[in-house]
Amino acid sequence: MSESKLSRRDFLKLVRTALLTASGVIGLGGLLRFLSYQSQPAAPDEFDLGLASDYAPGSRTVLPQVPALLVRSETGFTAISLVCTHLGCTVESGPDGFACPCHGSRFDAKGNVIRGPAAKPLAQLRVQATPDGRLHLFVH
Amino acid sequence: MRRLIVIASALLLLTLLGIAWQEAHRVKPVALTPTLTGKVEYCLSCHGDLAQISKSHPVQTFGCVICHGGEPLALDKNLAHSTLRGGANPSDFSVVQASCGGSNCHSGTPESYSDHIQRATTSIQATYAGAIAVMRYAYGAQSGKGALFGVNAVQDSASTSGITSLGAFDPAAETNPQLQLFGQNCLTCHLSAQPMQNGGRYDHFTGCAACHTPTQSTDLTSVNTRTATSVHELTTAISYTQCDTCHNRGNYDLRTMTFIPRTDQPTDRLHDYYQPIGQFTTCEVALDCIDCHTRTEAMGDGSLYGSKYDIQYIQCQTCHGTLTQLPQTKTLTDPNDLAFRLAGLNPVVNLQLGDTILVTSKGEPLWNTKVLPDGTYELVGKATGQVFKFKPVMGSGCQQDPNDQSSASCHKCHSVQR
C-alpha cells in the first residue's frame, strides 16, 4: 500500500493558491458591487398616465405619484399640481377645491388661493395625448 | 520566501474579509429627497422609526436637515451628527434663526403671522427682564423697576413698548452678593434655561420646544416617561402640564436665593394645577392655560417688556363680559383672518365664514370660542377638545365690582374649594 505524502512545498503552494483564490473572489465581488451601484434616479419630468380612454368624462383622478389631479372635462384633459405653493406639502383634493393639511392654505377648484399662507395658485400641468391614445403629463 | 508569500496572502485575505464584514454591517442607506429642498439626505437610514414631528412639518416635505442641520450624506453617526444645530433641539434660541427661520417659515412679517422667532426671543419668558429688574431694584442696583437687562442681550429697534434694547445680565458684575446668588440660583425658568431635572414632571426642552414639544404626560397617575431626549413632536395643543414644567414647580426663597421645589405629588388635575396656596375658579382649573391666554401673551408681540403685567391682559370679563357689557365678538368674514390660521394648526373646531367668535380687548381672536344662537357661548379646549358652555355676566345675579376685574376679585365668590 503506497502512502501519498504532500511535500511541504506543495502544501505551501496549495495554501497560497487557496488564499489568493479566496481573496480574488472577495475582491471580484467588491468590484462587481461597485460597478453595479445605481445612484438614485432623478425625479421624472414626464409621466405616462396610460390610455386616455381609461379616464371617464367628468372624472377627477388623483395621481399620487406626481402628485396631481387629472380632470377630464367636456373640453379635454387638464391637470393641477397638488404641491402646495407655500412650502411644498401635498394638498388634499375635495369637492370644492384643495386644502393643505400642513398650514391650512385653501385653494378653489381651479387652484386659486382662497386662504393663505400660500400666495400663489396651484400650478397647472401640461397634459398631452399621443397618437396612440396615451396621456402624458409634464411636470415642468 | 514561499512562507512569506503565504503569510502575505493570508493577510490579504484577512484584510478583504474585514472589509467585507464591515460592508455587510454598514447601515443600509435610505434616501429621502424632501420636496422643499430637493436635496437627498440619508438621515432616515437610522431614524426611520421616529414619529412624524407634526402635521405641519411632514418629513417628505421638509426632510430632517433643513431644521436639524447635520451632514445629510453621512452614514456614520458621529460624522452625521457633527454639524447638528442645537443637539437634539434645533429650536434652542442660540440656533433658532438658522433652524426655524425664513420668511416663509418662522421669521416672516407680523402681517403674515409668521414672526414667531422675533416675538418669542423678545418675549418676557425669554428675556426674564421683569424678574431681573425687580431684583436689581430691590437690592439697590438700579433706581427704578424699568427693565435694563435680560438673560441675553437683545435689541428691538421697532419696539412699541419704549424699551429698544436690553443688556446681558451679568451676575458677576453685581456688587451685592444677593444679586450674585440670584444670578447663580434663580435664572432657571427662562426659555433658554436648561431644565432643573432630567425626566419627571419638570423636564422640558429649551427654546420653542420648551412649550411646543410635550415632554409631559397628562396622566398624573403614572410616572412620566416622556423626556426631553425622547420626544419628537411639535404641537400647538399645549396642555397645562407643559406650562407647569416652569410655572408650577415650586417657589424661590428670596432670602437664601434658592429654589424650593414642590413636595406634594398630586394625582388629579384639581390638586396638580395650582399649588395649595392658590385660589382659582372652575374655568381656571378645568381649562388649559392656552384656552384663555393668547399667543401674544405667551409668545410676546415682538416688543420688549419689563413686566409680565405689561403683556398679560386677559381677564374674566374677556369671555364673560360685565354687568353692563357683553364680551367683545367678531363675525368672521375674511378667509385670511388669523382665527382660521390658528384653528387650522389645531383643528379642535371647524371654523366657518360667518361664525361669530369672542375677541380680546386688543382684537386677538379667541378662535376656540363661538357665540351660540341663544346668546350663550361655547369654548372648545385646545388641548383636550372638551366642550364648555358658558353665559355672560350681564343679566346674571353676579355681584361683581365693575371697577375691579382682576381674577382675585372673581375668586371671592367663584373660588373652587379643595
* Beta carbons of A102 and B19 less than 8 Å apart: no
Q: What is the pLDDT of residues A59-98, one digit of tens each?
A: 899 999 989 999 998 888 999 999 999 999 999 998 889 9
Under an 8 A CB cutoff, do B35 and A89 touch?
yes
For residues B245 and B238, the answer to whether their CB atoms sit within 8 Å is: no
User: Over pLDDT 90: what percentage of chain A?
Assistant: 38
Q: Which three cell numbers stand for residue B25?
A: 454591517
Q: Does A104 sit within 8 Å of B340, measured CB to CB?
A: yes
- Give the span between the Cα atoms of B326 and B161, in whole angstroms: 29
Please state, in angstroms and rounded to a whole number, the distance separating the CA atoms of residues B409 and B418: 19
Give the burial string for A108-129 (b: 16+ CB within 10 Å, else e): eeebebebbbbeeebeebebee
pLDDT at residue B228, as a whole number: 63
- With residue A51 as reference, give the H or E element that holds it: strand A46-51
Which residues of chain B neighbour A26 with C-beta distances below 8 Å?
A: 13, 16-17, 20
Contact at CB, A117 and B5, closer than 8 angstroms: no
Taking the CA of residue B386 as centre, how many other CA atoms within 13 Å lie in the half-sphere pointing to its CB?
Answer: 9
Q: What is the pLDDT along chain B (418 residues), one digit of tens a residue?
A: 777 888 888 888 898 888 888 888 888 889 999 999 989 999 999 999 888 999 999 999 999 999 999 999 999 999 999 999 999 899 999 999 999 998 889 999 888 888 999 999 999 999 999 999 999 999 999 999 999 999 999 988 788 888 999 999 999 999 999 999 999 988 888 898 888 777 778 888 999 999 999 988 888 877 777 776 678 999 999 999 999 888 888 888 888 999 888 888 888 888 888 766 677 888 888 899 999 999 999 999 999 999 988 999 999 999 999 999 999 999 999 999 999 999 989 989 999 999 999 999 999 999 999 999 999 999 999 999 999 999 999 988 888 887 888 888 888 888 887 7
Question: Are the beta carbons of A116 and B23 separated by less than 8 Å?
Answer: no
Specify whether the CB–CB gap between B66 and A88 falls below 8 A.
no
Instruction: Determine the Cα angle at B160 with ends B147 and B120, to 5°.
Output: 70
Cβ distance A30 to B10 less than 8 Å, yes or no, reads: no
Packing angle, helices B2-24 and A8-35, rounded to 10: 30
How many angstroms away from the CA of A52 is the closest CA of chain B? 29
Does the pLDDT of residue A13 top 50, yes or no? yes
pTM: 0.86
In our burial notation (b when 16+ CB lie closer than 10 A, e otherwise), range B12-48 reads bbeebeeeeeeeeeeeeeeebebbbbeeebbbbbeee
Which residue is closest to A87 within chain B, CA to CA? B36
Chain B residues whose C-beta sits inside 8 Å of any chain A C-beta: 2-3, 5-6, 9-10, 12-13, 16-17, 19-20, 23, 31, 33-36, 40, 55-58, 60-62, 104-105, 112-114, 335-336, 340-341, 343-345
Q: Is A106 an 8 Å CB contact of chain B?
A: yes
C-alpha cell at A124: 397647472
B245/B202 Cα distance (integer angstroms): 4
User: What's residue B162's pLDDT?
Assistant: 86
Omega before B29 within 30 of 0, i.e. cis: no
Distances (CA, A) of B383 to A41, B55, B57, B386: 43, 16, 19, 8
Distance of alpha carbon B410 from alpha carbon B415, whole angstroms: 8
- Per-residue pLDDT for A2 more than 70? no
